[in-house]
Amino acid sequence: MKLSVIAFSIGYKIGKKLKQLWEVITDAWCNPPQPDYHIAIELLAR
């Protein structure tokens, strides 16, 4: 009983972390930081 509770809480914490990470990644993918992009493109264009 105790072991399953521990395993569940660990799994729950990992799941929450993965969900946060996924939201950060998808947010960054949908809204890339524009200034860095433009600077990089300008540097490559020269």
Number of domains the chain contains: 1
Q: Which of 11, 16, 25, 39 is nearest to 3 (CA)?
A: 11
Instruction: With H, G, I as helix, E, B as strand and everything else as coil, classify residue 23.
Output: helix
- Cα gap 31→39, rounded to integer Å: 16
* pLDDT attached to residue 11: 92
Q: Containing domain of residue 28, as a range?
A: 3-45
Residue 46 has pLDDT above 90, yes or no: no
Q: What is the pLDDT of residues 7-39, one digit of tens each?
A: 999 999 999 999 999 988 888 777 766 667 677
Question: Residue 33's pLDDT is what?
Answer: 61
